Structure 1
Amino acid sequence: MADSSESIHELYDLAVVGCGPAGLAAALNGTIRKKKIILFGTDFCSPKLHHAPKIENYLGLPNITGEELRKKFLAHLQEVKLKVNQNKISGIYPEGENFTLQSRDKFFKARAVILATGVNTVKPIQRELDYLGRGVSYCATCDGPLYKDRKVIVLAYNRDGLEEANFLSEIASEVLLVPLLKEEEAARVRLNEKIKVVKGKAMGITGEMWATGVALEDQQLTADGVFIVRESVLPDQLVPGLKVGSQGIEVDRWGATNIPGVFAAGDCTGAPYQLSKATGEGQVAALSAAKYLDELKSKVKEDRPLATV
């Protein structure tokens, strides 16, 4: 049911990032409220649910397996003709009263956003966040042109990182690739012969005012810039300015974040990590987003100048 053919020129009412129970519930309820939805997720929505041998506390469905419930969720989306867009979102930025969602070299636009990215297990390496935007980047397509004819390091935690290294090899004078994924996964991507592979565990970013390298366990690499490519991005790096506490994204009772038009639901907002909580918060966030969109539409009408004769 996955699809990635949506036009990047369309303006959606609501973009839902994440296709676990919270994201699916949000997309479904947004659709029921007659909003134009785009749902971003992986090619296999909710592996966590898939691996659950039995779910005993989901009201009305006793002793159902996680996989059975996952299929029911996806079947419900098919009923309302909702598809999953597999473009990985690497950044969400306000643009007037709308938002631009970036995925490598593609851009999507929406009036409101719901984050349902699940529990984020990303652990930044030492000083990574200190240098973000100052020599450290998560997107080669976005920032690669800044390093034309310069030396860069790519820390690749997945296959996308290897592809980003190939992309950068056509721009930079030298690319040092540190593969941090399983060897069998790395073997599936053919690397440009210009890329130099350096094996080791990344410990931290080095530099002074600007990042100038990466410290591995047994050696020091130097470069003009560092690209870090992982499966997911920290929420406050995905949406600059987003308020995140020790438990997760900070939201109010209605799923609203500190950024108007951005809502969050599910495990990314903190414990308890329960299925019913996730689906319930997804519904609440969708209702809140729908209300926000309706109010936005009313404001536009009120601000429109009266016709003169």
Structure 2
Amino acid sequence: MEHHRAVIIGTGPAGLTAAIYLGRANMTPLVIEGIQPGGQLTTTTEVDNFPGFPDGISGPELMDNMRKQAFRFGATLRAGRVTKVDLSKRPFTLYLEEGDMITADSIIISTGATAKKLGIPGELENIGKGVSVCATCDGFFFRNKKIIVVGGGDTAMEEAQFLTRFASEVRVVHRRNELKASKIMQDNARGNQKVTWSLNRTPLEVVADTNGVTGLKVRNNETGEEELIQADGIFLAIGHEPNTGFLEGKLPTDELGYLQVQPGTSQTGIPGVFACGDVQDRIYRQAITSAGSGCMAALDCERFLSESHE
């Protein structure tokens, strides 16, 4: 059975930053890439807010640079997906999709979170071409454009408010007549003159041409009629799902399923198991904060291994 001192699950900014730091500490970490090597940034055409790139950089290029840097310091990357883990004793055991088993003295979980999708035609193929799941990441590219925000919760209201800094109009589309957002969030959004409303509308299709998104086809739930709402961009704000299914409840989570860590650290409820990136971050969800938490996890992991004399 293959054994490693440190295994990192996931290769987004958090996982690869952890790999860089552990590699520099001569820990020779193993990184298991998962089903989306590079994480959500591989679906982002332009990253304009990661420090050090004044002219911006594409998401895939940024992640490729991080991967090369991790390689440079001795990290090993392995394709595959962890399907379950045994955290009851050390060394921990990881079970991979293809039937292999790996043991580890320590584990860093950086499996991220997946933005919930509508599941309608034209959605997935236009991610990065006008469809976005992150207002903070992509709002800048929609100056003086018409934007749709899909959702009715606090996140949707917050993103709609944020996007009014750039867009000429932000239209909130929600399938119910009542919003789920808190009263104060609703009041703030309704008080913004740039925010318009299309409630009780069910999204049916993202409409696009060769240049990108042109609108969203919806059904009026009162009349049953279909209509096309013209827009240059569509932001999905219907929540995220942390990728923790393989853990089968073995680690404590909050009510939304995000892994809980001890305040100010990356330590989970089991000594030697650490979490970083979006899998434990329900608030910020930025590449730079993920990278920072990956650094924290690596330093915590290195300290744990040193103190346990492994």
- Give the alignment's TM-score, normalised by structure 1: 0.54
Instruction: Name the SS of the counterpart of 1:117 in structure 2.
Output: coil
Counterpart of 1:242 in structure 2 is: 251
Q: In terms of mean alpha carbon deviation, does 17-26 or 237-246 score higher?
A: 237-246
Amino acid at match of 2:271: P
Moved runs in structure 1, 4+ residues, more than 6 A? none
Structure 1 counterpart of 2:104, one-letter code: A
Residues in 2 aligned to 1:272 and 1:95: alpha-carbon distance in whole angstroms = 31
RMSD: 2.5
**Residues 242/290 of structure 1: CA separation in 2 closer, same or farther (3 Å cut):** same
CA distance change for structure 1 residues 93 and 240 in 2, over 3 Å: closer, same or farther? farther
Write the deviation string for residues 252-275 of structure 1: whole angstroms up to 9, x where unpaired: 211001111110000101221101
CA contact (8 A) 1:49 1:70 kept: yes
Q: Mark the CA change 1:27 to 1:239 in structure 2 (over 3 Å): closer, same or farther.
A: farther
CA-to-aligned-CA distance 1:200-220 (integer Å, 9 cap, x gap): xxxxxxxxxxxxxxxxxxxxx
Quote the residue 2:266 is aligned against.
Answer: 255
The secondary structure found in structure 1 opposite 2:87 is strand
Note if 1:280 corresponds to 2:292.
yes
Paired with 1:261 and 1:57, the residues of 2 have a C-alpha distance of 33
**Could you report, residue by residue, the CA deviation over 1:33-56 in whole angstroms, capped at 9, with x for unpaired residues?**
111311101475225212222222
- Residue-by-residue CA offset, 1:76-108 (whole Å, 9 max, x unaligned): 123224332112111111353310001142110
Q: Percent identity?
A: 25
Matches within 5 A, 1:60-209: 60-62=52-54, 63-94=56-87, 96-104=89-97, 105-120=99-114
Match among 18, 21, 31 for residue 26 of structure 1: 18
Give the number of aligned pairs.
182
Name stretches of at least 5 consecutive residues in structure 2 with no aligned partner.
118-240
Structure 1 portions without partners, runs of 5+: 1-8, 124-231, 299-309
Q: Which has the higher strand share?
A: 2
From 277, 299, 307, give the equivalent of 1:266: 277
Corresponding position of 1:166 = none
Contact map agreement 2:277 2:290 (CA 8 A) in 1: yes
CA distance in 2, matches of 1:26, 1:297: 20
Alignment TM-score, normalising by the size of structure 2: 0.54
> Do the aligned partners of 1:261 and 1:292 also contact (CA within 8 Å) in 2?
yes
Kept in 2, the 8 Å contact 1:235–1:242? The answer is no
Secondary structure of the 1:263 match is strand
